Amino acid sequence: MGPQLTSRSTMRLRLLGRLVVTTIHDQSSAIALPTRKSGVLLAYLAMSRDYAAQREELATLLWGDCSDQQARQSLRQALAMLRKHLGPSLVIADAGVVRLDGELWSIDAREFEQLSRSTKAAELALAARLFTGDFLAGHHIDEEGIEEWVAGQRTRLQLAAAHLCATFVERPDLVTDPNDAIAAVEQLIALDPLREDVQRLAIALYARYHGRHEALTRAAGFADVLQRELGVGPEKATREMLDGLRSSAVEADRAVAVDCAAAPAIPDAPRLSPAAVAPRHKKSALRQMVGRVLAGSGLVLVLTLGALFELRARQHTDVAELAAGASPEAGDFWRSPSSGGEVTLPNGLVPILVLPFTTLGAADDHLQLTADMLTDDLTNTLSRLPSFRVISQQTARSFAGQPIDVGRLGHELKVRYVLEGSVRRQEEGLRVNVELVDPSSRLSIWSSRIERDGADRQGLRDEIVARLARELQFEMLPIESSRLSQSSDAAALAYRGWAALSEVRLDGYRQALALFEGALEKEPQNLRALTGIGAYHARMGAQVLDTESRAHRKAAIEILRKVLERDPDSSNAHFYLALALNTLPTLPEAMEHLERAIRIDPSDASAHAQIGNGLIRSGRPAEGLAHVRYAIRLSPRDPIMPIWLEFAGNGELELKRYPEAIALFKRSVALNPRYPRGWAGLTAAYALTGDVEESHRMAERLRMFAPTLDNNGLASQFGRHPGSALRAGLQLALAAPADR
């Protein structure tokens, strides 16, 4: 039997999680109820067998500590206000009975309970998505009768959720999306982490869809919680289940070892769930076939095709796994490493993704620019709050114009919330809709509509940020942001300049410089454009994209010091000044500016990566790798990923883990064949492994970036610094035959 939604339904009542009342046709705007008790009254009627209750019953439930006369009067007032807010046809009252018209209401808790008993895959999937939290979560009223009734409802619905999860375990043929099944069991565990029967269901689902090793890791964590909280070990049924998983894992590892002994190894093969094994083998075979066919067709083509086939076989988070090795513990995933060896960031970190705002209505370039700037302003402001970890703008932009599965997105990026928004032109003004979605349930937990005069763009952006922060009830720090000029033309040019600067491309950098200079012509004091010019020179100098690295660094330092005199809290200025200072003699000052950038913007992925680079170059490669891996977690689709992968490769070189370094450098050049340092890393890594032929082939590719330099000049230009493994490998690869 399907859900209760009928052709007459006009209202939607959410009771699982936060109580929300909306209309069926506009679920983005919640209807405010007059009092908390009116919400309980509505919930009580909604969960009653016939959507009805006696007046005396309601009066006793809600005002049991009052006199009968006062309780009846309070009920009359509550009903009058409720009918006024919702309409008299939705809440019907006569002398003895109060009821809802069940045909007009869609109620998630009733639908969930009904669908959880289904034997149809689609209905079970819908039930899983409806289970978004405990019954009336956070809706506490200190009345004994209410508390007892709410507790009974919660117990019944939790039992329904346990039955649903058990069905997913016992009947895998009824699982249409493993993420739905896992989200449901995780939601149930969140309500009672020590409930061992549900933990066993979770372990079974993780073993099936994430692999036995991850299931065993999860089980070990649960055993630690049991010992710490209760001083006991797992039950016999749990121990027997884990013994079976360990035995099968050992057998699987032996089978893989036998298989690998008979086939060429792929060093960067991803870890995939059992459901994905078959398609992954097909793609790997295709990759090997293409590699054989194209063996003599050109180095760049072969490496790029190989990387593309491997990327197709991975989830987006596999880039992070490649650089990070084993994933960190879930609880610490968003806690950044500290260069001082101590963790100083607060608890309660909230990972969030702000998707690019879309435009509605007729195509309009100016409206699209407004949506883009609104997205960036919101992302930047949230990034400055220490309690948030915001996925970078670069990764967020990669989802623009694509169909989005919020549940899968949340799982891949490990974010707790996804914020979506749209912008529509409305007569002379703008309408902005924003919605905060919980990826685990795919349901909206907050939404808002803001209508403003189109001229007040900054006011519009400020109000969206303030409303979001208030709804989430986080303690906000003062929002520090530079106001763009009143000249929209200058602001637009500066925005486009930063967009052009986002990718590692020489032509893009030159386009960015022209746009920044154009903005300064219109407004000479525009700090955003001036910082952009400093960033241009810092990037050109650090990435060695021409032969004027020193001149670029000098120009960047001069410009960015002036910017910081005017705006000491510009995280961008601190970051790019650090990039310009990032040579060994001035490395300590560069690290200070990077640390300052992170204090201002804890989500600055590039600053974390550069701190990692500095630590690697300072002889602390293991610590440096932790920072680079953290940057990759913050921005797994970043356009400058090739640079971060090269940093990680250098760290592996210093640790003498040459196969790992080669895999990282290969990924770097595959993502951007025009970035010379990736080729330098491959040249050095192959030389250090003793593979002379491969190191010479890579060296020929590296020479294409600086054809006027001799071998010593190449080693000096691309070898980072004397004493590094990278420089030693380059010198070995580029040495004249007589010198070797």
As a whole number of angstroms, the distance between CA 384 and CA 387 comes to 9
**What pLDDT is stored for residue 98 in this prediction?**
93
Reference 355, options 374, 339, 341, 370; nearest CA is: 374
Question: What is the spatial distance between Cα 18 and Cα 538, in angstroms, rounded to a whole number?
Answer: 48
Same fold, 158-257 and 483-566: yes
Class assignment of domain 350-472? alpha beta
Alpha carbon separation from 673 to 302, 305, 320, 350, 738 (Å, rounded): 12, 12, 20, 36, 31
Phi, psi values for residue 313, rounded to 5°? -85, 0
Res 463: pLDDT: 58
* pLDDT tens for each residue of 39-82: 999 999 999 988 999 998 898 888 887 888 888 899 999 999 88
Q: Cα separations (Å) of 255 from 28, 209, 249, 472?
A: 52, 19, 10, 49
pLDDT at 61: 87
SS3 82: helix
Task: Give the residue extent of every domain in the chain.
Answer: 11-117+137-153, 158-257, 350-472, 483-566
Q: What is the pLDDT of residues 577-598, one digit of tens each?
A: 988 887 767 888 988 999 888 8
CATH topology of domain 11-117+137-153: Arc Repressor Mutant, subunit A (1.10.10)
Hey, what are 331's tokens? 């609880």
Q: State the sign of the Cα–Cα–Cα–Cα dihedral 574, 585, 651, 331.
A: negative
**Cα atoms in the Cβ-side hemisphere of radius 13 Å centred on 552:** 23
Task: Kindly indicate whether the domain formed by 158-257 is annotated with CATH number 1.10.3720.10.
Answer: no
pTM above 0.95, yes or no: no
pLDDT for 219 equals: 84
Q: Which residues of the chain have pLDDT under 70?
A: 1-9, 28, 248-336, 338-349, 362-363, 381, 384-387, 427-428, 445-446, 452-489, 495, 502-504, 544-545, 584, 603, 637, 736-740
The answer to whether 408 and 316 are in contact (CB under 8 A) is: no
Rounded distance, CA 294 to CA 305, Å?
Answer: 10
Q: Are 471 and 446 in contact (CB under 8 A)?
A: yes
Q: On the CB side of 272, how many CA atoms lie within 13 Å of its CA?
A: 19
Instruction: Look up the CATH number of domain 483-566.
Output: 1.25.40
Q: Residues 55, 75: contact at Cβ < 8 Å?
A: yes
Q: Using H for helix, E for strand and C for coil, what is the string for 201-233? A: HHHHHHHHHCCHHHHHHHHHHHHHHHHHHHCCC
What is the model's pLDDT at position 462?
58
**Residue type at 235?**
E
Laid out side by side, the sheet with 52-54 consists of: 52-54, 97-100, 91-93
